[in-house]
Structure 1
Amino acid sequence: MYRTLKRKVLIVSPHFPPINAPDHQRVRMSLAYMEQFGWEAHVLTVCPDCVEGIQDPILLKTIPSHIPITYTGALPVKQTRRIGMSSLGLRCLPYILQAGERLLRQQKFDLIYFSTTVFLTMWLGSIWYQSFKIPYVLDFQDPWLSDYYKQTGTQPPGGRFKHGFAQLQAKLLEPKALSQVAHVISVSPAYPKTLQQRYPYLKTEQFTVLPFGAPEPDFSALSSLNIQQTIFNPNDGKRHWVYVGRGGYDMALAVRSLFLGIQSHRHQNPEIWQSVQLHFVGTSYAPGNLAVKTIEPIAQELGIADLVTEHPHRIPYFEALQILVDSDAIVLIGSDDPDYTASKLYPCILAKKPILAIFHHQSSVVDILHRCQAGQAVTFTSKQEPQDLLSQVITQLNWLLSINKGFQPDTDWSAFQPYTARAMTHKQCAIFDRCLTTA
């Protein structure tokens, strides 16, 4: 039901349509439903021309036209890169600060909500709270301060120097950002535990684990958009298995396990693999020539390079959805970090294709996939090696190879309902309401 008197939230999300970035997914999907639950939104973001990344104008059409959006500038990346600074957070921070203060003076807002992986902007919540006494909510879609790459000895995205500098900022600013926070939303149950250990003054009731909502409206609109994907021809008679999402060294265990299983199975059944092609799409966040392939080298090492093609560059959002719909099967690759939870799971379920997930056994992906009966999962622990998963992987490969083209899983859509964008927005707005009653 609509309330007569609505409350107003300022949403800070530096990545926003038409930029195709996963960290605005929660905001984009919730804007269509917030008013149903008593909240009016005003978005504060960075002008798309100032943000590196794929621009997808169709994404902007999914934003309700009446939602006010304030765009800010940012320091030009072509100039700042000369001094080794390309981070959007550093480039946009003074602009977001100035624009936010102007909005907070001119209009009455009941809450400020930060939903972004541009973590530096979260620091502004505490600054604005001191000036305006408006409660703020932080949405952690990834860890800000993390020793994962130090513990594992793996190469962080962007290199060790860039990651080290970002972590230095996190050590300085995360405590300030959380010092006055009203509530923390996270996509993983591990983040609240870590943050409470780090900041004992934060209470359990100040945290909510809330996955991204499933983009049902996007799939409903897909058929009318006439999107053409260029990764493969779905009518060439081959079986096209796809993975759409990031790569990285932390996913090597899952990738190696899959490829080792394919290598072993093909050795015994070479003829059946002549019609199979695997496509890994959008595996790198880096722009242009900086994009590095992390999947194909493993395929080459294990002798199955002829079956695997990696397209490291990011592609427009709706083209990515079309790839899922055009596929014969979807592969989901997980990190060896048990805290990693893949928001890309929901589009894969909505594509109504057979799914094979290879994930850490503690990941929420495994539980959701089983609960909704939407696919099969091979699980691993941090101490296991690819060889340990070989029999499990081969069993699931036999399943994928045995099903007919056009097969649709018998998904339990009633079990899937709590994960829809509307259901998640309802929970999100309930959190906003509680912040005002406890402020």
Structure 2
Amino acid sequence: MLTSRKKVLVIAYIFPPLARAGVHRTVRFVRYLPELGWDLTVLTVAEPYYPPNSPIDRELLKKIPATVKVAATPVFRGVENLFRIKKALRGKHKPAAISQHEITKKAAATEAAQIADNHPAATKPRGLVQRGKDLITDLTSIPDKDVNWLPHAVKHALALHRREKFDLIYSTAPPFTDHLVAQFIKQRTGLPWVADFRDPWARAPWKAEILGSSLRGKAAAKLEHQFVRHADRVILNTDWIHREFTQHYGANLSRKFTVITNGFDPQDFTDPVMPPARNAKMIITHTGALYRKRSPEQFFAACERLLAQGKIAPHELEIRFVGGIAPELYRTFECSAALRQTIQVIPQVSHREALGYQLQSDVLFILQPGTSVSVPGKIFEYIGMRKRILALTPAGATADVVRDHQLGPVVDPEDLPGIEAALNQLVDEYRRGGIASPSVNGAFKKYDGVELTRQLHHEFLLSLEHGGRG
């Protein structure tokens, strides 16, 4: 228990109004920690220095208490300019938001180029020039592409500490540059450090193809070990990641590890405006980005089969995708005229608007292929909505959350008959009077963001007792 207020330096590249993945966990902690006796200063990136086309949500700023100080710094432009040169050489750019019509129109034209781009090693060996480009990319992406923030972040953090006299450092990653900044500050000041891994890194299943045995892969393994060794406490967000870290690092270092799951902000659900008792059609909604392996292809195939067999009519179904869609997935939206009638693609919206779309829905949709260790943050908002969840995910952390709390059907993403059966069951239930809300079986309390912040408060106290010894 705190006998006096303590000062914390929060290192968070992703912080409002920047609305990249992971921002809501940080916002919840920053919102509720002051009530527990912590005075926070957030070190982050100034908006003019955000990467191009970064998602912005200014409404999130309303959740930050007035007592929280925010120090927003520039970034070093030199590395960014190198990336611009590299992208220009490759002819790549990040597309703006795109409608369903545009997705369907462009899918066929882009598919061949995407296949060639996604599998360059299969077409021809890398030449000397390409190996040189790859080396530059590796060197300028350690620990990640946000490393250009490092010089300014360290400089400003040390200046802030001279003025504020912090008691504790808290860093949240990805980007893992945040942890690298924190490690530098700990080494210079001796302050206790709590490192929050919102995702696995060096051995993350979805990064194996990207990192592998490359220079970046080797650097990730070495830096992750350094972070774990130097931090006083290490926060992981699923039991599966905790088990993997414990097996990798052994009993001695694992004494630092604890699990604080993702969750939801209860204030987002205090007084929802309830939709009509029953929608005119069954609405299935996915909020958040679709990218890499997070493809709805098998889900669409199951819908196509149900439509073709007459088990559901287009006028009975509406499928909403709220958020960005990566170009490599455009081709999956090529579908029959019947299915196309049911699909709505809604470009990225504010968090508040995304919650509104969830509230209007009968079923909330999770796509989490390719990993057993992580849980997408949106699932906890789905729990807050008390809506039935359809989860397409392999056995693992996400499946455990849905099954343990009886939130809805769980099907492997490649099990087409299983997806079809789950959809058919939901359609039958909808026709019999609507989709009943799940009991949630204790999930609402377990994933309450206020309670999760109390758990972080406890970890802060442990790190102070440890005294910054690492």
Q: What's the TM-score bracket when you normalise by the shorter of the two chains?
A: 0.7 to 0.9
SS for the counterpart of 1:71 is strand
- Measure the CA separation in 2 of the matches of 1:201 and 1:394: 44
Select which of 380, 395, 409 maps to 1:377.
Answer: 409
Consecutive unaligned residues of structure 1, counting only runs of 5 or more, are 224-233, 285-290
Which of 181-190 and 212-221 deviates more? 212-221
- Measure the CA separation in 1 of the matches of 2:441 and 2:367: 23
Matched, 1:61 2:62: yes
Matched, 1:181 2:231: yes
Matched, 1:81 2:83: yes
Q: Quote the offset at 1:212 in angstroms.
A: 1.6
Spell out the pairing of 1:216-255 with structure 2 (5 A cutoff): 216-220=266-270, 237-252=280-295, 255=296
Aligned residues: 407
AA of the residue aligned to 1:393: A
* CA contact 1:250–1:337 (8 Å) conserved in 2: no
Change (3 A) 1:139 1:400: farther
Equivalent position of 1:148 in the other structure: 205
Q: Quote the offset at 1:11 in angstroms.
A: 0.7
1:196-222 deviation line (CA, Å, top 9, x unaligned): 444347533211121122122123477
- Measure the CA separation in 2 of the matches of 1:429 and 1:105: 24
AA of the residue aligned to 2:290: G
AA of the residue aligned to 2:160: L
Spell out the pairing of 1:279-318 with structure 2 (5 A cutoff): 279-284=320-325, 291-292=326-327, 294=329, 297=332, 300=335, 304-311=339-346, 313-318=347-352
Change (3 A) 1:367 1:275: same
Spell out the pairing of 1:349-368 with structure 2 (5 A cutoff): 349-363=383-397, 365-368=398-401
SS for the counterpart of 2:332 is helix
Matched, 1:426 2:451: no
- Measure the CA separation in 1 of the matches of 2:31 and 2:207: 40
Change (3 A) 1:35 1:271: closer
Q: Quote the offset at 1:431 in angstroms.
A: 0.9
- Measure the CA separation in 2 of the matches of 1:164 and 1:322: 43
Select which of 401, 404, 427 maps to 1:398.
Answer: 427
1:94-125 deviation line (CA, Å, top 9, x unaligned): 11111111112222222111113110221223
Change (3 A) 1:412 1:281: closer
1:53-78 deviation line (CA, Å, top 9, x unaligned): 12221110111111111111113487
Equivalent position of 1:208 in the other structure: 258
- Measure the CA separation in 1 of the matches of 2:348 and 2:193: 32
Equivalent position of 2:14 in the other structure: 15
- Measure the CA separation in 2 of the matches of 1:412 and 1:197: 31
Change (3 A) 1:404 1:167: farther
RMSD of equivalent CA atoms: 3.3
* CA contact 2:319–2:343 (8 Å) conserved in 1: yes
* CA contact 2:384–2:444 (8 Å) conserved in 1: no
Select which of 268, 277, 290 maps to 2:318.
Answer: 277
TM value normalised by structure 2: 0.76
* CA contact 1:324–1:330 (8 Å) conserved in 2: yes
* CA contact 1:247–1:295 (8 Å) conserved in 2: no
* CA contact 2:292–2:328 (8 Å) conserved in 1: no
Q: Quote the offset at 1:93 in angstroms.
A: 1.0
Matched, 1:346 2:380: yes
- Measure the CA separation in 2 of the matches of 1:198 and 1:180: 16
* CA contact 2:205–2:370 (8 Å) conserved in 1: no
Matched, 1:437 2:436: no
Which of 339-348 and 234-243 deviates more? 234-243
* CA contact 1:296–1:310 (8 Å) conserved in 2: no
1:211-260 deviation line (CA, Å, top 9, x unaligned): 1221221234776xxxxxxxxxx9994443210123234334xx344333
- Measure the CA separation in 1 of the matches of 2:61 and 2:378: 20
The structure showing larger relative contact order (alpha-carbon pairs under 8 Å, at least 6 residues apart) is 2
Q: Quote the offset at 1:300 in angstroms.
A: 2.8
Q: Quote the offset at 1:293 in angstroms.
A: 5.3
Spell out the pairing of 1:123-202 with structure 2 (5 A cutoff): 123-146=180-203, 148-149=205-206, 166-167=216-217, 169-200=219-250, 202=252
- Measure the CA separation in 2 of the matches of 1:105 and 1:271: 66
Question: % of aligned pairs identical?
Answer: 22
Equivalent position of 2:357 in the other structure: 323
Equivalent position of 1:229 in the other structure: none
Equivalent position of 1:227 in the other structure: none
Change (3 A) 1:262 1:15: same
Equivalent position of 1:266 in the other structure: 307
AA of the residue aligned to 1:418: K
Q: Quote the offset at 1:43 in angstroms.
A: 0.9
Change (3 A) 1:336 1:88: closer
Select which of 163, 168, 172 maps to 1:106.
Answer: 163
Q: Quote the offset at 1:41 in angstroms.
A: 1.7
* CA contact 1:188–1:209 (8 Å) conserved in 2: yes
* CA contact 2:358–2:385 (8 Å) conserved in 1: yes
- Measure the CA separation in 1 of the matches of 2:279 and 2:422: 27
Select which of 76, 93, 98 maps to 2:150.
Answer: 93
- Measure the CA separation in 1 of the matches of 2:2 and 2:204: 45
* CA contact 1:54–1:316 (8 Å) conserved in 2: no
Q: Quote the offset at 1:44 in angstroms.
A: 0.9
AA of the residue aligned to 2:368: G
- Measure the CA separation in 1 of the matches of 2:207 and 2:83: 26
SS for the counterpart of 1:33 is helix
Equivalent position of 2:134 in the other structure: none
Q: Quote the offset at 1:410 in angstroms.
A: 4.5
- Measure the CA separation in 2 of the matches of 1:408 and 1:243: 18
TM value normalised by structure 1: 0.81
1:147-172 deviation line (CA, Å, top 9, x unaligned): 63476x6xx6xxx89x9675354244
AA of the residue aligned to 2:358: L
Change (3 A) 1:147 1:437: closer
